[in-house]
Amino acid sequence: MSAFDELMAFQRETEALAQVAGRLGWDQETMMPRGAAEQRGEEVAAMEAMLHGRRTDPKVGDWIAAAKAPNAAGARMVELIRRDFARSAAVPVRLAAEIARVTSVAQGIWAEARAKDDVAHFLPVLTQVVRLSREKGAALVAGGFGGNAYDALLDDYEPGATAASIGAIFDRMRPRLVALREAVLGAAYQPVPLKGTFPREAQLALSRKMAEAFGYDWTRGRLDLAVHPFSSGSGNDVRITTRVSEADPLNCLYSTIHETGHATYEQAVDQAYLLTPIGRGASMGVHESQSRICENQLGRSRAFTAWVFGQMAEAFGDAGAPDAEAFYGAVNRVTPGYIRTESDEVQYNLHIMMRFDLEQRLIAGTLAPADLEAAWNDRFRADFGVAVDRPANGVLQDVHWSVGLFGYFPTYALGNVYAGCLNQAMRADLPGLDAGLAKGDAGAATGWLGEKLRRFGALKPPAETVAAACGFAPTEAPLLDYLDAKFRALYRL
């Protein structure tokens, strides 16, 4: 057996074990009994220690040095294993295991604190998570990754990106987003929100239809409830979650579409890449492009919402709006709300920019966890003109910091940028796309995405993956042009 073959066989086992570890996380957020939190923390730490040991095994270094890849896909696999080997070696196994243990426990504490609006309950463990994340960032910088701790952490989610490069994109986006928000909020015409009560089981049944419309393969997935919706897994076991509010069916339906975008990306990766370093999404930014294009450019389009309107009337007897056009307005209504995941397309990226700035300060040490709530509330009032009414609608709304995902938030906005580019290219190639969407069939869109982007997995770096699909280098302009055209028309400006 060649060095390349030995490396790939070893890596396949590592990838399989990582999937098992991920399943522990899925179980923790969906089905695990509350009393198991401390034990689950130990289990997750043990798994992380084992995985860290495999990723830093000296044999891996020897195989990498001797490996002769047979083709471009093999060369990319070796490149990614080399990168992971070096990054893992930079982080002591003790630290990797401790981060896994603490964040597993912190997730449960965050959920309790969020339910009780009790920031003080969350602060001690958040302080631990921030301290460990800073330590990890410093270790990665010492190992040659990133000019500072935040960049080193960001590189886990969007390889090649830096705070400076993303900050420059945000600086270009903010003026147009703010101008558009002010215009629509000040418009004479304002869409009316949905009214009514929408039973839980009927919402869940309809959310399954939403997933099917976007091509979700139920033989390789399932839908469950979670406090914070997420998608988990890759290849032939990709699971999604949603949440239900009987007063707000759009939360359930569009959370499901969002997570379906993630899941169908993973399900569409070439089966030849299964359990290899390229058998998954190219980055979190590219991943978010798939969830956001399904949720927004496709799922919130006038054509698709007309179909959803009919499905709502069938499921509930009353769709909560008098006609399809009013329903389209309700789905796309711009309001200064608190919650990122419920935000309209115009303001969503402004939510991300706020988090991006705050988490950089946390990692740099210029903002203490104890001062985070006040900093959040001050910034939210400045950016959105509204005072945060309760912690669950403010600093406690997102799970990310509890599980140490510093550097993850900006990939949401980067995903929107990528989605804007993909939408422009896709609609140029598929001029009749809306005809299918009006029938609840997104097959043409998901087929295009599968052929142009999804099947390749992580074969290319993130920006190259998007550029290859679109035919041009990604830029924020298509997203901003799309938002201007859509919302100025909707608000009759």
The catalytic residue positions are: 259
For 340-388, the DSSP string reads: GGG--HHHHHHHHHHHHHHHHHHHHTSS-GGGHHHHHHHHHHHHHS---
How many angstroms separate the CA atoms of 300 and 412, rounded?
Answer: 18
Q: Which two tokens stand for residue 54?
A: 């495999």
Residue in 129, 167, 127 with CA at minimum distance from that of residue 148? 167
Q: How many CB atoms lie within 10 A of CB 248?
A: 16
Q: How many CB atoms lie within 10 A of CB 86?
A: 17
Find the distance separating the first CA and the last CA of the chain, reported in whole Å.
67
Q: Which two tokens stand for residue 472?
A: 């041009």
One-letter amino acid of 235: G
